[in-house]
């Protein structure tokens, strides 16, 4: 989705890419050469990575990345599986752990639970001890519950405001209409984190929100320097749940 948005020019104000350039924000592969200052990897190592902004290009046959952006590929994942992990896993980790500071016993609402970020975020939130609600289509309800969702709402036929209330955290990834409803799902003092883009000044004013909310997207994107450490987290619990649901979704 990020590659599509960049291709369509939606991030021109904040990402300094000038065409022609190669898209692709995450990958897995084998190290073919290393620079003289590299200490963490050697030729032949299997790695996965989310190259930092300004150094993307994972759709190419080969790419040079900084060693701080890479981590050893988890042994329990194929190269194909690992290639689908970095961007969505980092987004979920940074949103729920670093920005949201999600704690055991809290309630989190994750939109679009059957999507790339959603499937990882549900599992991570449950791993952290939270109660999880999510939205999806009717055909995906069994899937998201298999991943750990406690409440699954069919967004086509059900209203989230009627089914959810008092939530500590919302991970927002949809449109402004859903954003409005999600703000009303929060408890007083709750936190909404947007990964689809911050609210406009007009929207923020209409909702009585502090304009500082517009900085949330930047908080996520500026953490790329921690990529290696975060990808080094053991994500094996994610795939245990996914495989138990009889479908592995990236």
Question: How do the domains of the chain map onto residue ranges?
Answer: 2-84, 87-224
CATH 3.90.180.10 fits 2-84, yes or no: yes
pLDDT grade, residue 18 (50/70/90)?
confident
The closest alpha carbon to 125, from 150, 145, 96, belongs to: 96
Least confident segment among 98-112, 149-163, 227-241: 227-241
pLDDT grade, residue 55 (50/70/90)?
confident
- pTM greater than 0.85 (yes/no): no
Q: Residue 115 carries which DSSP code?
A: S
Least confident segment among 71-75, 105-109, 125-129: 71-75
Q: What is the pLDDT of residues 188-232, one digit of tens each?
A: 889 988 887 555 556 556 656 554 443 333 333 334 345 667 776
Q: Could you tell me which CATH number the domain at 87-224 has?
A: 3.40.50.720
Mean pLDDT of 75-85: 91
Tokens read off for 17? 């890419």
- Chain length of the chain: 250
Tokens read off for 221? 């994107």
Q: How far apart are CA 70 and CA 51, in angstroms?
A: 8
Helix %, strand %, coil % of the chain (to 5): 40, 15, 45
Instruction: Give pLDDT, residue 236.
Output: 45
Q: What is the pLDDT of residues 131-183, one digit of tens each?
A: 999 999 999 999 999 999 999 999 999 999 988 999 999 999 998 788 889 98
């Amino acid at each position: 989705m990020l590659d599509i948005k960049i291709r369509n020019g939606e991030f021109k104000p904040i990402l300094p890419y000038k065409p022609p350039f190669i898209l692709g924000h995450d990958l897995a592969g084998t190290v073919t050469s290393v620079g003289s200052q590299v200490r963490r990897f050697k030729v032949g190592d299997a790695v996965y990575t989310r190259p930092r902004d300004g150094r993307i290009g994972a759709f190419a046959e080969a790419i040079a990345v900084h060693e701080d952006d890479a981590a050893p590929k988890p042994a329990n994942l194929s190269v194909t599986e690992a290639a689908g992990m970095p961007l969505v896993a980092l987004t979920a980790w940074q949103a729920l752990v670093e920005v949201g500071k999600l704690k055991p016993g809290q309630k989190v609402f994750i939109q679009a639970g059957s999507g790339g970020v959603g499937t990882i975020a549900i599992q991570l939130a449950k791993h952290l001890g939270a109660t999880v609600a999510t939205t999806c289509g009717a055909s995906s309800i069994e899937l998201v519950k298999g991943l750990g969702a406690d409440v699954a709402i069919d967004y086509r036929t059900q209203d989230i405001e009627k089914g959810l209330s008092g939530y500590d955290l919302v991970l927002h990834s949809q449109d402004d209409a859903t954003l409005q409803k999600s703000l009303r799902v929060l408890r007083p003092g709750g936190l909404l984190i947007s990964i689809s883009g911050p609210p406009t000044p007009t929207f923020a004013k209409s909702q009585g929100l502090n304009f500082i909310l517009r900085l949330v997207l930047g908080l996520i994107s500026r953490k790329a320097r921690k990529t290696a450490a975060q990808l080094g987290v053991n994500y094996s619990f994610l795939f245990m749940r996914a495989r138990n649901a009889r479908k592995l979704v990236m």
